[in-house]
Amino acid sequence: MMDVTCEKFSGPFGLLLSLIESEEMDITEIALAKIADEYVAYVRANRGIDPEELADFLVIAAKLLFIKSKALLPYLYTGEEEEEINDLERQLRMYKEFVAASQKVKELVLSPRRSFLPPLTKNRRGGFNLPVFCPPAKLNAALLHERFLILLANLEKQLAKMQEEKLPEKTLEPKISIDDKIASIKQMISNKIKVNFSRLLASAATRTEVIVSFLAVLELAKQKELFFEQDELFSEILISRPADAAALNNQI
Amino acid sequence: MSLKSQVESLLFVSLKPLSLKELAAAMKAPAKELGEALDELIADYAQGNRGLAIIKNNGQYQLTTAADNAALVQEFLKDETSGELSQPSLEALTIIAYRGPIAKLELERVRGVNCSLIIRNLLLRGLIEERFDKSKNENYYTVTHDFVRFLGLGSIDELPDYLKLNSAESLNTVLAATEDKN
Amino acid sequence: MSLKSQVESLLFVSLKPLSLKELAAAMKAPAKELGEALDELIADYAQGNRGLAIIKNNGQYQLTTAADNAALVQEFLKDETSGELSQPSLEALTIIAYRGPIAKLELERVRGVNCSLIIRNLLLRGLIEERFDKSKNENYYTVTHDFVRFLGLGSIDELPDYLKLNSAESLNTVLAATEDKN
């Protein structure tokens, strides 16, 4: 169902850029709004995305959906968010320049032109009668021991940090699926007639899950599986199934 | 002997790239005059249809073979290193080459994605080096002489569009925004 | 590039003197013309107040430093190998002492950076030695007997806490990760 236009991309900006370029558009707010759905679909399909980079992809997905919602409902926005959108455009334009530069760097790396050094050996020093053993005068066993303990302490710190960085990724993975979230939202709605949007978000444990919930709700809205009601600006959003909503309206 | 001759001898026997400061100390010569002698030597090599060249990177100098003779030298040394780089590594290297010294956070801001693993990999391959900036309490990254040699350049500012990308205003703006947020 | 330039590149990277025949074979050039190019190059070096010179001995050619700079070069090389070790070199030496025999790749994994130059420097100073392991197709490094004796030890396992530190958990973890990647 999905049109896979970018087999190879490098990170969230790479994906964004290739989607915009496949539409032959410039980097503008309009372009970003236009490719938002495609981007989200791509992240959902999760093709070729390194799990460690997923969070970075989701952050961009959230920004794009924000831009899209602004394009659809401009009167809801006050102008303060303008800066953030400009910022994304600027970042993307700059990224594009560096991608172009990286192609030139690649050509240089692959071109036959290259400088060489003699192999690293001591032969070049032949003829200078250098001593074969030159220990640093102040070095001793105690100092070696001390340095090694420092090294081990640093290694342990590094390993602990890597472990820490890995943990959220593991706990995040089962929760991250937008499909799961869609299923659970559908479940919530079928059990109740209406659900508060804030309640959906309250159940999210992490920022990533908030984004995923948001994406899932938007997806359901797009598929016309959900009906949204809001009495006034910034008031609670109620989510219900279209059938129920129709039925309720008929009762009144 | 002249400074130019002396500095040529030292660069020839040194295993590693040497800074102006190291050379000046070894030769007990004033850094300014030495710098001029080095510039002259670089120009001599560049003009003279020579088999040698000097690479200048990070304020350090290294004597190498001329890039034009690469095919011959590579075959002679039976060197098999190829320039294979993944797209993400290539992007990170490009940004570090044009913008170095650059902090990890700035690099990630440009690429929009975490770069810890790529940095680690490039360090292990000896393509970039890390220097701790005490005043900013942060590591900064630059490309190594080895990488400049792979490019076949005399120094990194010979990269296409170097000036433009090195001082790209857009980058300054975005990076300024990074600093604000931290 | 000209023959003169090419032969200069080859003499620069070659660690041993080369005969006209060897050079001609490498360059696929006629020996006669090559001989003329060499004579020209030798004359260039002799005239130009240069830091390098070509020595011709028994029909073999070698690029070397100019005789006039010998004292400077000698002192430079002596200083380079006699001072205290840099922090990175000391760290590498410590790892090799407690954990040797260790492969270059393992050492780099532990230190997180490329160690080619550091290893070469420690080898030059006679602090470590290199042994090629045929089955693993890799060089392994250990400290030298001279260094063990310099420390006043009978053997390296007399270092403080050797047994415990030799098999430190964190090192095992990092090195196990090395094996995974290969």
The string of DSSP letters for chain A reads ------S---HHHHHHHHHHHHTT--SSHHHHHHHHHHHHHHHHHTTT--GGGHHHHHHHHHHHHHHHHHHH-GGG--STTHHHHHHHHHHHHHHHHHHHHHHHHHHHHHSS-------S-GGGGTTS---S----TT--HHHHHHHHHHHHHHHHHHHHHHHHHHHHHHHHHHHH-HHHHHHHHHHHHHHSSEEEHHHHHHT--SHHHHHHHHHHHHHHHHTT--EEEESSTTSPEEEE-HHHHHHHHHH-
Q: Say if the Cβ atoms of C125 and A116 lie within 8 Å.
A: no
Percent of chain A with pLDDT over 90: 17
Contact A118 C14 (CB under 8 A): yes
- Average pLDDT over all residues of chain C: 91
Please give the residue that has the higher pLDDT: either A55 or B50.
B50
Inter-chain residue contact B51 with C1, CB threshold 8 Å: yes
State mean pLDDT over A160-184: 62
Statement: residue B173 has pLDDT above 60: no
The residue of chain A nearest to residue B145, with distances taken between CA atoms, is A115
pLDDT of residue A244: 56
Res A192: pLDDT: 66
Name residues whose C-beta falls within 8 Å of residue A22's C-beta, 6 or more positions apart in sequence: A5, A6
pLDDT beyond 70 at C178: no
Check: CB of residue C100 under 8 Å from CB of residue C141. yes
Query: Cβ A106–B71 below 8 Å, yes or no?
Result: no
End-to-end CA distance of chain B: 54
How close is the nearest chain A Cα to the Cα of C170, in Å? Answer: 6
Answer left, alpha or beta for residue C152, where phi above 0 means left and psi between -120 and 50 means alpha: left
Find the mean pLDDT for residues A170-199: 64
Domains and CATH numbers, chain B: 3-69 (1.10.10.10), 84-181 (1.10.10.10)
Whether A7 has a pLDDT exceeding 60, the answer reads no
- Strand partners of residue A230: A237
Residue C144: C-alpha distances to residues A64, A174, C94, C122, C132 (Å) = 61, 53, 13, 10, 15
- C107 to chain B: closest CA residue: B124
Please, which pLDDT band fits residue B35 given cuts at 50, 70 and 90?
very high
Q: Does A152 touch chain C (CB under 8 A)?
A: yes
Q: How far is B19 from chain C (nearest CA, A)?
A: 14
* Neighbouring subunits of B (3+ Cβ pairs under 8 A): A, C
With CA atoms as reference, the chain C residue closest to A152 would be C170
Phi/psi for C54 (5° steps) reads -105, 125
B16 touches chain C (CB under 8 A): yes
pLDDT at residue A30 in the model: 87
pLDDT for A33 beyond 80: yes
> pLDDT band for position A142 (50/70/90)?
very high
Nearest to A130 among C78, C110, C161 (CB): C78
Residue pairs between chains B and C whose CB atoms are closer than 8 Å: 114
